[in-house]
Amino acid sequence: MIVETTAGPVRLAANLKWLFTEVPFEQRFDAAARAGFTGVEFASPYELPAGTVRRLLDDAGLEQVLINTPAGPAGSATIMGAAYVPGAREEFREGVLRALEYAAVLDTPVIHVMSGLRPADADPDLALATYVANIGWAAEQARAAGVRVALEPINKRDQPRYGLASMETAAAVAEAVDPETVGVLFDVYHAQVDGGNLIDRFERLLPRIAHIQIADNPGRGEPGTGEIAFDRVLARIAASPYDGWVGCEYGPVAGTLDGLAWTERIAR
């Protein structure tokens, strides 16, 4: 879906974990296409065989623009990822390789490598060193596969133990490891909760941004339901050299299709 801003167009991708939840997951591909989307993203394709997801994409005429690395089972130390967890190196590496296998079948250009929760009893310096080493290894695998790695912090209000501290930390890790392969997932919602100052931070981080996601704050609903000036934010994205997708990772306040009226308001 293309939304026109005062500075030009922005390409929107539907996050199928958050949007079109009115129908079962496998029906969301067609629902997204009927609504005008040509790209989709979602965290976990692993519940279905890669070939099945490929068929769903092809039948709907969609591109898969982003997937996450696998999460660990419920209740485990790696439920939100393994990269920041000392002692979980093998699980982390298996997850990265599995994500790359799916990315190859789905022709997905970006993989979000989830940080995970820092164990309460872990030494902070050891956890950070573990993370940097893991991202370095992931970058080597992704570079060989022609895939970009994205690093996303989660705001400390919603998840105080999430390992990756900030957008700026993500950018520093990307710069240290491999800035051509590793970049920042600039989530507007998380950035607003943790520090705000969105346009200035977007401009400073722009050389490192690999993917963008949007939701309003508070509530994490669609643009226009909270405090963020999305007309200005999206216009700045449109005016920038960023030419990737903007993922709609929000919970519609009153249904997916009614919620998409925000795209018309931005255009006006």
User: Which positions are annotated as active-site residues?
Assistant: 152, 249
Environment class of 124 (CB within 10 Å of its CB; exposed 0-12, middle 13-18, buried 19+): exposed
